[in-house]
Each structure stands twice: as C-alpha cells, then as structure tokens.
C-alpha cells in the first residue's frame, strides 16, 4: 500500500528505533501518531517533524490505556507495534510482576492493538500491521527465554493474522532485527559483542518497515548475512546451535547484556 496520505501509529516512538521509523514514515508522506510513555520526548519529536505529527502518550503495560489508544488515535491505516521491553536475563531472576509486564508490552499490546484497529482497515479495504520482533523470535539463546517467548509469539500471531486478513486487503509484516549498533535495547545496555558478530543499523530497520508496507512482505530479517544464516541453521538444529553458542561465550555475553538492562524490567 502507499504510505503517502496514510495515518501510521508508531508505538515506542520515544526510543531510537521507534523515532527513526516515525521519521522515515513521515518522510514517505504519512501522518505519524507518536505513542510512548515519555511525553516530553514525544513532543520534541513531533516538533522536529512539524506538520503531520501527533502525540499520544500511553503506557502499554496498562491494559486500560491499551484499550483506549485506538479510539484516541482515530483513523489508523498502518500500525507499527515497535514498543518492547528487553526482558533479558535468567528467568529465575524475574519476579512474576516483571514477567507480566514484559508479556503485556511485548506481546499482548500488539495483539490487542491489531485486534482493535484491523476491523476499520478491513472495512476500508486497505491497511497494514507491522510487528517489530527480533532474530530472538526465531532462535533463542542463554538469558533470552522470556524475551524470546514474546518475540516467537509475535511471529506466530503475524503468520496467522496474515492469513485471516489477506483477502480483505490488509497486510501483515514482521520485522526481525538482529543486534542494532546505533540505537535500541542492545545499544543501550552498553554490552560489547565479539568482533565476528555483525550488526545492523537503525536506518536499516526503518527501511524494512517501509519495504514491508509498500511491497506487502510477510517477514523481513534485518541483520548481516552471517547472523541470518546462523538463525536459519538454529531453526534446523537448535541443540547443536546452542552448544556452539556456549563454546563461543553466549552465557557470558548474555549476562553482560542483562546487567545493562536490569533497570528496564
């Protein structure tokens, strides 16, 4: 579908990836509805974009606010469900409330927003739902059990929703970024990757969102070839892949990432 003239709701627009996605959609001619918890950051982004930018402050961990957001947004042609918590670390280190919060933001909120916004898209005969997952939604590793659970869930939801809506003219795309070097959860953690692990850019994620909407792509990986191949192999031979990851220091790396993200649970 064409982005010019559309209205696009972007959740998690206060973060580096969400803000970059919003800028890219705005540059394509869309009116962007900027959603997140931090009103000042959203207002700054809206002021930067100028016309065709609206602010919708919402906490997606609050189920009442999730339910109210579609009505506040008005007409939405494109939903970009980008907001997420890192939820990294050993499962036994999480309190039940932290698990609920991660699943509410990472999985339940995108499902509910798609559920509430899709009927009007179907009625108009066009629209698109974009879900920002992760390569961790195709292959898990140490310290990512909860995060991967939410991102694997998005993939399954998207595939089924795609089939439910395809004849109505409504598209569904899932984006699978790997490690992003210049913004996002991994960048904010301060952890360092081994030299052999390649990284993507935030601009590449935004490009994938536009490509998914305009070309109707079901799934798009955003990562260097090595990571994409590794993820594909992990899907075929998970036990062997996990064993190799252990030898390459996956537990130590995941512990470093979790330490840098513990305040976001």
CB distance 129 to 154 below 8 Å: no
CB distance 154 to 131 below 8 Å: yes
Exposure class string for 70-79: b at 16+ Cβ within 10 A, else e: beebeebbbb
The catalytically annotated residue of 33, 53, 109, 147 is 147
List of residues 6+ apart from 64 with CB closer than 8 A: none
Residue 223 per-residue DSSP state: S
List of residues 6+ apart from 128 with CB closer than 8 A: 1, 77, 78, 79, 121, 170, 171, 172, 173, 212, 213, 216
147 is catalytic: yes
Cite the active site residues: 147
């Amino acid at each position: 579908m064409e982005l010019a003239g559309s209205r696009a709701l972007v959740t998690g627009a206060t973060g580096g990836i969400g803000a970059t996605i919003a800028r890219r959609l705005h540059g394509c001619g869309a009116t962007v509805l900027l959603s997140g918890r931090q009103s000042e950051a959203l207002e700054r982004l809206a002021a930067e974009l100028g016309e065709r930018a609206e602010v919708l402050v919402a906490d997606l961990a609050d189920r009442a606010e999730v339910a109210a957001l579609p009505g506040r947004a008005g007409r939405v042609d494109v939903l970009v469900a980008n907001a997420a918590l890192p939820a990294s670390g050993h499962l036994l280190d999480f309190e039940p409330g932290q698990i609920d919060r991660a699943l509410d933001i990472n999985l339940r909120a995108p499902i509910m927003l798609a559920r509430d916004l899709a009927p009007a898209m179907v009625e108009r005969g066009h629209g698109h739902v974009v879900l920002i997952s992760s390569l961790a939604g195709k292959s898990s590793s140490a310290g990512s059990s909860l995060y991967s659970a939410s991102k694997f869930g998005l993939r399954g939801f998207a595939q089924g929703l795609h089939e439910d809506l395809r004849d109505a003219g409504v598209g569904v795309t899932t984006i699978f970024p790997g490690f992003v070097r210049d913004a996002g959860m991994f960048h904010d953690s301060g952890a360092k990757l081994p030299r052999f692990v390649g990284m993507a850019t935030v601009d590449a994620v935004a490009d994938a969102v536009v490509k998914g909407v305009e070309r109707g792509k079901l799934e798009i990986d955003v990562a260097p070839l090595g990571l994409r191949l590794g993820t594909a192999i992990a899907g075929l031979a998970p036990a062997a892949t996990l064993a190799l990851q252990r030898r390459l220091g996956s537990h130590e790396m995941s512990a470093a990432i979790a330490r840098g993200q513990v305040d976001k649970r």
